[in-house]
Amino acid sequence: MSYLFTSESVSEGHPDKVADQISDALIDHFLAFDSESKVACETLVTTGQVVLAGEVKSNAYLDVQKIARDTINKIGYTKSEYMFDGNSCGVFSAIHEQSEDINRGVDRASKEEQGAGDQGMMFGYATRETDNYMPLALDLSHRILKELADLRRENKDITYIRPDSKSQVTIEYSDDNIPQRIDAIVVSTQHDDFDEDEVMLTKIRKDIVSILIPRVVAKLPEHIQALFNDQITYHINPTGKFVIGGPHGDTGLTGRKIIVDTYGGKGGHGGGAFSGKDPSKVDRSAAYATRHIAKNMVAAGICDELLVQVSYAIGVVEPTSIYVDTYGTCPFNITDGEIASKIRGIFDMRPAAIEERLKLRQPMYSETAAYGHMGRKNETVSKTFSQPNGDDLTMDVELFTWEKLDYVDKVKKAFDL
C-alpha cells in the first residue's frame, strides 16, 4: 500500500533562521580573523530586540552589533513597519570567555590529538531519490522558499511579499519507496497589508500557484517535474492574514530548526544544533562528516540509501562508535556492521582530521544558516570581513565541502568495486 511522507522548510526571514544567520555570521567573522577561534554563540530575536549570548576564545575583536545589523538588513528586515529592522533594533551582547574546563578537553599540544568538543551522537544520510542525494520532500520545500525569496527581491511579478515564510511538501510513495506524485503543498508567506482580506487571499493563492510553483518546477529534472499535476492540494496562507511575522510575530532562537537544517525527518538527527558553533563542536563537524560519508558511499554504489551514526565522548579523540543502516538497499553480500568497519578504515573521524579534510576552519558558515546545511552546492566564493578598526579582509572560501564526491574512488577500492 502506498504511503505519504512530509517535510517542511522555513525561509531566511523566519525568526529562528534570523537567529541562526546572526550566530553564523559571528562565527564567520571570528574564524576570518582567527581561524583557531572557539565559539558557541546563541542569538534571541524578538520585537525590536536582539540578544547575543555565548562563550568565545579568540584573538579577534569584532563589532558584534554591526554584524548583527548587517545580517538582519541582508535578510530583508529594513522597514519600521515590520517592527524589527536592522537599523533600529536594539542589540545586547552577553558574550563572554569560554570556560577553561571545556577548552582543556579540546586543545592539545598536538593538533591531531584534539578531543571532541562535546559528547553525543551525530547522523548523516543520503539517498538516490534526488540528484543531490537528499530526500525529495525536503529538497522541494527548500526550493519553494528560495524561489519565493528570489521573487521578493526581484519585486516585479509579486510585490507584496515580506521576509517570513514557511513551506511543506507531502509526497506519495509506492510500496517500494519510489515517489509517485506530489500530494500536497503548503506555503505560508508574510505579506504587506491589503485593504480587503478576501482580495488579498485570492491574489496570494493565485500568485503562488501560477507564478511561484511553475518557476520551481521549471528548474527540476524531468522525472521530478512529472510528479506535479493538477491534483495537488494547495494550502496557501491557510490561516488567512499573515502581516505580523518575523521576530515581531514570534521570538526566534538559534538551533530550533535542526530538522529543516538536515534531512526533513528522514534519516536521523542526534539532537544537536549547528549554527553558532565552531567546528571543534562535533555536533556540527561530525554531522557534516557523516553526510560526506553517506553521500560518497551511495554515489559509489554501495547502497541506494544510507544512514551513518557516529558518537563521541567530550575530550576523547576517537569516536566511541560508528553505525550504519542501508535499509536493505545494499546489493552485495556484506552486512551493515561490516560496512561500518570499512568506513573506519576509509574516513578518519578524529575531530582534527574532520576539520582538515572538510576545511572547516574557513569562514564558511553564513551560507549554511538558511535553506539547509545538506544537499547544497560546493563552490568557492570571495567574501569580505571587516574589523572595528576599519581593516577589511577579503578571502576565497570553499563552501559545503561535505557535499563533494571526492571519496567515491576510495570507497570503490575499499569495497573492491
Query: Is 383 one of the annotated binding-site residues?
Result: no
CA torsion angle for 409, 410, 414, 416 (degrees, to 10)? 10
How far apart are alpha carbons 332 and 33 in whole angstroms?
A: 48
Query: Is 162 one of the annotated binding-site residues?
Result: no
Q: Are 57 and 97 in contact (CB under 8 A)?
A: yes
Query: Is 412 one of the annotated binding-site residues?
Result: no
Query: Is 404 one of the annotated binding-site residues?
Result: no
Query: Is 14 one of the annotated binding-site residues?
Result: yes
Query: What backbone phi and psi angles, to 5 degrees, belong to 312?
Result: -140, 160
Query: Is 281 one of the annotated binding-site residues?
Result: yes
- Class of residue 31 by CB neighbours under 10 A (exposed 0-12, middle 13-18, buried 19+): buried
- Cell reading at 299: 554515489
Query: Is 207 one of the annotated binding-site residues?
Result: no
Query: Is 291 one of the annotated binding-site residues?
Result: no
Query: Is 16 one of the annotated binding-site residues?
Result: yes
Backbone Cα Rg of the chain: 22
Q: Whose grid coordinates read 576599519?
A: 390
Contacts of 50 (CB under 8 A, 6+ apart): 22, 43, 44, 68, 72, 89, 90, 91, 92
What does 317-368 look like in DSSP terms, one character per residue? Answer: SS-SEEEEE-TT---SS--HHHHHHHHHHHS--SHHHHHHHTTTTSS--GGG
How far apart are alpha carbons 279 and 351 in whole angstroms?
A: 8
Query: Is 175 one of the annotated binding-site residues?
Result: no
- Cell reading at 267: 534519516
Cα 194 to Cα 198, 201, 208, 238, distances in angstroms: 9, 9, 17, 16
Query: Is 33 one of the annotated binding-site residues?
Result: no
Annotated binding residues for K(+): 42
Annotated binding residues for L-methionine: 55, 98, 250, 281
Annotated binding residues: 14, 16, 42, 55, 98, 164-166, 241-242, 250, 256-257, 273, 277, 281
Annotated binding residues for ATP: 14, 164-166, 241-242, 250, 256-257, 273, 277
Annotated binding residues for Mg(2+): 16
